[in-house]
């Protein structure tokens, strides 16, 4: 990274960068010396030096009644930035408390096709270990996803994410119940199929439909909507058969 660009990254403008670098070369200097070398008015240089001092990047001393300015040691730059970072870290908890005070608007994304559905499932895998995924799903969804779905299950298990799933009763699914413990899953059945699939996790809900002409997934992030769908799931869970 170029020196000028790095200094701009610290919040300096072009004039401040120019004068800071010139002070480094000159060492302790009077304003008129800096102004002459950079062909700038003395008042402009004074203002910029005051700005550098305020940012902790320059200092001055009085010698024989005349101000002499000096650039801050470059090794101090990292400490100055670290202090800023520490100050920012200290206010993060307060900023977090402010989130959603007025009310967070629902966030909605629309996905299409198999790759879009995979994107939704990849989002689920970001949950921390010990989290639970709730789903009532159409059996055809897992057929549609093909080899991807067993791979998804393996990654979910590896991530320590549990699953409670309701599906239409089918012979191959009854056999799979034997793997429930190993796959961190609890599976229950209904007699009738679901027309679409719903996934609920954290503050998110995904609705997936498999109409061949328009395969879509809608993901909504909203606490109240997620809690409402979780209530629907809980009611279905009580009615579903083990």
pLDDT digits (tens, 9 = 90+) for 23-39: 888 888 888 888 888 88
Q: pLDDT class for 226, splitting at 50, 70, 90? A: very high
Q: What is the pLDDT of residue 100?
A: 59
| Six token digits for residue 49 | 């030096």
Task: Identify any residues that bridge with 82 across adjacent strands, giving them in sequence order.
Answer: none
> What confidence score (pLDDT) does residue 14 get?
85
Distance CA 185, CA 106 (A): 29
pLDDT of 196 > 80? The answer is yes
User: Which residue carries 């009738």 as its tokens?
Assistant: 192
Residue 215's pLDDT is 85
CA distance 178 to 164: 15
63 against 164, higher pLDDT: 164
Question: Does the pLDDT of residue 236 top 90, yes or no?
Answer: yes
Distance from C-alpha of 91 to C-alpha of 108, rounded to nearest angstrom:
30
From 56-65, 185-194, 230-239, the region with the lowest mean pLDDT: 56-65
CA distances, 110 to each of 31, 106, 197, 215, 216 (Å): 61, 13, 15, 11, 7
User: Which residues is 241 bridged to in the sheet?
Assistant: 189
SS3 63: strand
Cα–Cα dist 14/55, whole Å: 15
Mean pLDDT, rounded, for 95-117: 76
Cβ neighbours around 68 below 10 Å, total: 16
**For the chain, which domains are there?**
3-76 (1.10.10.10), 107-239 (3.30.870.10)
Do 217 and 207 touch, CB atoms closer than 8 A? yes
Residue 198's pLDDT band, with cuts at 50, 70 and 90, is very high
Distance of alpha carbon 14 from alpha carbon 20, whole angstroms: 10
Mean of the per-residue pLDDT values for the chain? Answer: 86
pTM (whole model) above 0.85: no
């Amino acid at each position: 990274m170029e020196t000028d660009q790095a200094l701009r990254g610290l919040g300096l403008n072009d004039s401040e960068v120019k004068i800071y670098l010139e002070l480094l070369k000159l060492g302790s200097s009077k304003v008129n010396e800096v102004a002459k070398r950079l062909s700038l008015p003395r008042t402009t240089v004074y203002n910029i030096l005051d700005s550098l001092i305020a940012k902790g990047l320059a200092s001055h001393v009085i010698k024989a009644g005349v101000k002499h300015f000096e650039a801050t040691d470059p090794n101090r730059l990292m400490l100055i930035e670290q202090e800023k970072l520490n100050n920012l870290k200290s206010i993060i908890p307060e900023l977090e408390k402010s989130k959603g005070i007025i009310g967070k608007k629902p966030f909605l994304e629309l996905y299409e096709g198999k790759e879009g559905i995979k994107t939704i499932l990849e989002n689920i895998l970001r949950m921390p270990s010990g989290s639970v995924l709730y789903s009532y799903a159409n059996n055809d969804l897992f057929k549609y996803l093909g080899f991807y779905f067993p791979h998804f299950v393996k990654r979910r298990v590896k991530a320590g994410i549990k699953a409670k799933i309701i599906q239409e009763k089918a012979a191959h699914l009854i056999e799979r119940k034997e793997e429930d413990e190993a796959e961190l899953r609890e599976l229950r059945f209904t007699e009738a199929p679901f027309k679409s699939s719903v996934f609920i996790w954290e503050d998110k809900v995904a609705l997936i439909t498999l109409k061949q002409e328009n395969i879509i997934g809608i993901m909504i992030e909203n606490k109240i909507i997620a809690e409402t769908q979780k209530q629907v799931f809980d009611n279905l869970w009580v009615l579903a058969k083990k």
